[in-house]
Structure 1
Amino acid sequence: MLSQSFRQWGLYTGLIVIGCGMGVASHAYWTQGQLNATLKSYEEFYGSDALLNNPRDGSVNFIAQAVQEVGSAVVRIDATKDLYSQDMSSPLFKRFFDQDIPSLEPDIEQGTGSGFILSSDGQLITNAHVVEGSSTVKVTLKDGQVFSGKVIGVDELTDIAVIKIEATDLPTAKLGNAESLIPGEWAIAIGNPLGFDNTVTIGIISALDRPSAQVGIPDKRVRFIQTDAAINPGNSGGPLLNVRGEVIGLNTAIRTDAQGLGFAIPIETAQRIAEQLFAKGEADHPYLGIRMLTLDGEGKERAKEYFSDSIGDVGNEHGVLVVGVVDDSPAAIADLREGDIIRKVGDRVVHTAIEVQEAVENSVIGQVLLVEVKREDKTEVLKVRPTNFPVNY
C-alpha cells in the first residue's frame, strides 16, 4: 500500500503546493529515502490510506485527521477594552468642568484571536496580547456556542493568558511534546485569521529555539518554534499541531516584514505558565540580573570590540560571558562579576546564553542555585538565590 500511496503522493503534493504556496514547497528538498520513511511512519499511525483523500469510502488524509482530533477544541476569542478609562466622577473632573461634566462615549477597541480548551470544565489558553486590557472576553466554540470568559491570569513575559468559561463536558485539545521536534516535520496551524473562523494551514517546523530578540520581541522570555505554516492576525493563541493532532505549540507571532515566517511558544512552556496562572493568577520567572554573551565566533568578536578593556582577551574561551551585572540583583549579591565565564548552572553544563536563561527559568525562587564560573585562571562556584523577575526591568 505504501507504493500506491507514494505513486499518488506526487499529485497530492502538487495540489497542496498550489493551495498553500511557499508554505509547503520547501518539502521538495527532501530525499526520497526521507520521504518514504516519513510516509511509512504516518501509515503506521493512521493506516495505509491515511495520505489519500477518498470520498468514495469516507477516508481522509493525515492532515484532516489531525484537525479532526483537535478542531472542536479551538475557540474564537473576541476581546474589547475601554480606551477611555478616566473616572468621570472624580473631584478633579468636577473641578475642571465646574460641575458640568460632559457626556463622553467610551472609545472601544476590539480584537479577535484564537485559543484552545485545556480542560472539559472550561479552562482555556491564549496569548496575553489577545486579551490585553480586558477582564472578560467573548468565547465562541466551533459549534456556535458563545460564552462569557473571565481572564484568570496574564503573563506578559511569555505572552500567555488563561481564561475560564462556565461549561462542562467540553472537547479538549490533546497536548504533545515539543522537546522532541526536529526541523522538517509537518506543522498544522488552526485559528481564526483575519476573521475567517476555523482556518487550517499547513507547513513544516522550520527551526527550533529561536530567541525572542531574534523574533523581534526582545521583552519576552521564550524560545520559539519557527514554522512556515501561514499564521496571520487572528491566529494568535491557536494551536500548532503535529501529524497526530497533538498540540506542540501556541501560535503567537508573525514577522510583518517577511512571508513564510511564523512562531509558536513550545507547549511545555505554555502548559507550565498556564498551570501557574490558574493556580495563583501569576507566573514565576526566576531572575539573576546579568547580561550575557555566548562565546561563539560572533560573540567573541563582539566581546573584543565592545568589552576588551574590561574583560580581557576571550579568544580561546568558551561558555557564556557575563558582560554586565545589575546593581543589587541576586547576581550582584552573590558576587557574580563582569568578565566571569559561566560554565555550569545547577547540574547543567551550559554553552549558550539561552541555555543559561533556561536553567535559571527552571530554578526555584529563593532557593540556592549554584553557578560555576571561570574567573581569570580559577574556577569559582557561587551561590545565587534567584528572585522573581522585576516588573519594571
Structure 2
Amino acid sequence: QGTGSGFILSSDGRLITNAHVVEGTEEVKVTLKDGRSFDGQVVGTDPVTDVAVVKIEATDLPTVNLGKAENLTPGEWAIAIGNPLGLDNTVTVGIISALGRSSSQVGVPEKRVSFIQTDAAINPGNSGGPLLNATGEVVGINTAIRANAQGLGFAIPVETAERIANQLFSKGKVEHPYLGIQMVTLTPELREKINQDQDFDLKVTQDHGVLIVRVVPGSPAQRAGFKSGDIIKTVASKPVKNATEVQQGVEASEVGSQLEVEVLRNGKTKLIVVRPGAFPMEN
C-alpha cells in the first residue's frame, strides 16, 4: 500500500490530496498530526489535474489558510510539508523557481495544469501535501510527478486545486471543457517541417501562432467548423501566442457554453463559435 500526504480544507473533515495517491481505492486510512486515525472515504478523483478529495467523520479540525498562487513571484520562499518515506511532518524549504510551467514542459502532457516549480525537496511521500508561502498560506499541492527530477519540485496551484475540489465534493466528478483539436505552436523550422510532411498535407505561410494540425472526427471542434491549417488568434476575445494559452482559455470556459474562437484561414480572419464538450475520460 502507498502513503502520501494531504491537508484539511474544512473543520468537518474535508481533505485534499493527489489523485495518484488514492488511485484505485475507495477507502483510506487518515492519520492526523495529533496522532488520531480515521477511516477516510475517497469522494472523487480527477486524474486530469491529479487532484482528489477525501472525507473523514470528524468535527472541530484545524484547517489551512489558502493563499493565492497567482500572487507568487519567482525567488520568494516556498515551504513543503509531507511525509516522504513515511517520515511524518517533514518540512523542506526552498524558493519558487518558476510559475506557469505547462504539463508538456514538466513531462506529463496528459495533465491539464500550469505547475508551480520549486527547489524545495518533494519526494513521493510528499505528494498531496501543501506548498506554503512565507506567511504559512497554502499556495499549491505538492506532486512528486517526475520521479527522476532531482532538485525540481512541482505543485498544482491552489486556485486550480480548490476549484477541482469543490466540484468533486459537490458532484463527485469534474468535467473538463474539450474541443478536440491537435495543435502546435509554430516556429519557422516547424513550419518548414510541416510543409514538407505529406501526412499533414498543409501549406502553412505563418512563422508564428498556434496551428491546428488535426481536428478529431465527431468532436465539438469538427461540429463548429474548425479545419486543420487554421491558425488560432484569440480565445474568448483574448489573444493567444502558444498552445498552452489556448489550453488555458478552453479550460476557463464551461462545458456546453458558447466559446468564441478567432482563426486565420486562407489569410482571412474567421470567428467560430464552439460549444466545448466534456473531456473524454478513459475508464
TM-score (norm 2): 0.95
Whether 1:239 aligns to 2:116 is no
Asked whether the equivalents of residues 17 and 51 of structure 2 are also in contact (C-alpha less than 8 Å), the reply is: yes
Quote the Cα distance in structure 2 between the aligned partners of 1:361 and 1:315. 26
Whether 1:277 aligns to 2:165 is no
Match of 1:377?
Answer: 267
Quote the Cα distance in structure 2 between the aligned partners of 1:148 and 1:385. 41
Deviation at 1:307, TM superposition (A): 4.3
Asked whether the equivalents of residues 304 and 314 of structure 1 are also in contact (C-alpha less than 8 Å), the reply is: no
Match of 1:367?
Answer: 257
Whether 1:351 aligns to 2:241 is yes
Whether 1:122 aligns to 2:10 is no
Match of 1:326?
Answer: 216
Quote the Cα distance in structure 2 between the aligned partners of 1:307 and 1:150. 53
Asked whether the equivalents of residues 191 and 206 of structure 2 are also in contact (C-alpha less than 8 Å), the reply is: no
Amino acid at match of 1:376: N
Deviation at 1:227, TM superposition (A): 0.7
How far does the alpha carbon of each residue in 1:326-381 deviate from its partner, in whole angstroms, 9 at most, with x for none?
00101111111111110111132211111111111111111111110011110000
| Alignment partner of 1:212 out of 80, 88, 103 | 103
Quote the Cα distance in structure 1 between the aligned partners of 2:148 and 2:8. 31
| Alignment partner of 1:136 out of 11, 14, 27 | 27
Asked whether the equivalents of residues 4 and 21 of structure 2 are also in contact (C-alpha less than 8 Å), the reply is: yes
Query: By percentage of residues, which structure has more strand?
Result: 2
Quote the Cα distance in structure 2 between the aligned partners of 1:300 and 1:145. 60
| Alignment partner of 1:250 out of 116, 141, 163 | 141
Quote the Cα distance in structure 1 between the aligned partners of 2:195 and 2:80. 43
SS in 1 for 2:281: coil
Whether 1:167 aligns to 2:58 is yes
SS in 2 for 1:112: coil
SS in 2 for 1:311: coil
Quote the Cα distance in structure 2 between the aligned partners of 1:307 and 1:171. 59
Asked whether the equivalents of residues 141 and 158 of structure 2 are also in contact (C-alpha less than 8 Å), the reply is: yes
How far does the alpha carbon of each residue in 1:290-316 deviate from its partner, in whole angstroms, 9 at most, with x for none?
011123xxx332232134563324344
Quote the Cα distance in structure 1 between the aligned partners of 2:147 and 2:15. 27
Q: What residue ranges of structure 2 are gaps of 5+ in the alignment?
A: none
Match of 2:116?
Answer: 225
Q: Identity over the aligned pairs, expressed in percent?
A: 65
Match of 2:192?
Answer: 304
CA change 1:227–1:166 in 2 (3 A) is same
| Alignment partner of 1:187 out of 78, 81, 105 | 78
Q: Over the residues paired in the alignment, what is the CA RMSD in angstroms?
A: 1.4
Asked whether the equivalents of residues 232 and 254 of structure 1 are also in contact (C-alpha less than 8 Å), the reply is: no
Quote the Cα distance in structure 2 between the aligned partners of 1:131 and 1:392. 17
Asked whether the equivalents of residues 300 and 314 of structure 1 are also in contact (C-alpha less than 8 Å), the reply is: no
Match of 2:93?
Answer: 202
Asked whether the equivalents of residues 190 and 201 of structure 1 are also in contact (C-alpha less than 8 Å), the reply is: yes
Quote the Cα distance in structure 1 between the aligned partners of 2:64 and 2:145. 23
TM-score (norm 1): 0.69
Q: What residue ranges of structure 1 are gaps of 5+ in the alignment?
A: 1-109
SS in 2 for 1:134: coil
Deviation at 1:192, TM superposition (A): 0.4
How far does the alpha carbon of each residue in 1:260-282 deviate from its partner, in whole angstroms, 9 at most, with x for none?
01100011100000000000000
Quote the Cα distance in structure 2 between the aligned partners of 1:182 and 1:311. 41
How far does the alpha carbon of each residue in 1:83-123 deviate from its partner, in whole angstroms, 9 at most, with x for none?
xxxxxxxxxxxxxxxxxxxxxxxxxxx00000000001100
SS in 2 for 1:381: strand
CA change 1:193–1:343 in 2 (3 A) is same
